[in-house]
Structure 1
Amino acid sequence: MAARLKISDLGALSYYLGIEVRQGKKHISLSQCAYAEKLLERRGMAECKPCATPMEERLKLSKHSMAVKVDATRYRSIVGGFHYLTHTRPDIMSAVGYVSRFMEDPERITGRR
């Protein structure tokens, strides 16, 4: 391939599209720790405490509510960021999938137990 194309060796991959890559002799590990921290910081959630369950259990959300409207663009941005984070965090996939259901019209989402 090098005979046909002009190629340069950039060395071992360490960071690509927000994914940190660590390569060992017998393994490769992927992490989005820095991406997750930036995402939380942009949304004003940098000081939040981590929890074992990424979403409140038995949470019921409804599209029909009289609650205060949320900014649809900001909501989509947050959900999109967390969706990208699921590449290395499959444990949050269920919660991200659940809130993704409201991407079409997130303006009046309310939580009910």
Structure 2
Amino acid sequence: MAADDEPLIDDDAGRLVRPYTVSNGRTAPTRKLDLMSLVASTGRVGQSDLTPEYARTLRLCKGPTSVAEVAAHLRLPAAVTKVLLSDLVDAGAVAAQAPRPAADPSDSRLLEILLDGLQRRL
């Protein structure tokens, strides 16, 4: 693990850098990203052109990875991770794809099957 891959955490003191410091205090991403949105590096922006936080985030996006997984690896709140990822999307370094719904959530037949399955488990 490279030095910049180490979390900024001290076992006794806890996190040494506040999460929102990483995103310059921003809490709203410029793009709509769901926790299940898939992000992947485009290869158009080199890691050497980025700050350590953005470079580490970009390394986690080598293949399609969910926003939730990136947040877990970064050990940052999802809101902060979404800001970092949306900045990378804006820079052309990452492509994002919204999750596709598995089924129509208003399909009454599907809801009946789900309800039946839940009742059998209880």
Query: What TM-score comes out, normalization by structure 2 length?
Result: 0.28
Query: What TM-score comes out, normalization by structure 1 length?
Result: 0.29
Between structure 1 and structure 2, the one with the greater Rg is 1
Q: Higher helix fraction: Structure 1 or Structure 2?
A: 2
Higher RCO (C-alpha 8 Å, min separation 6): 2
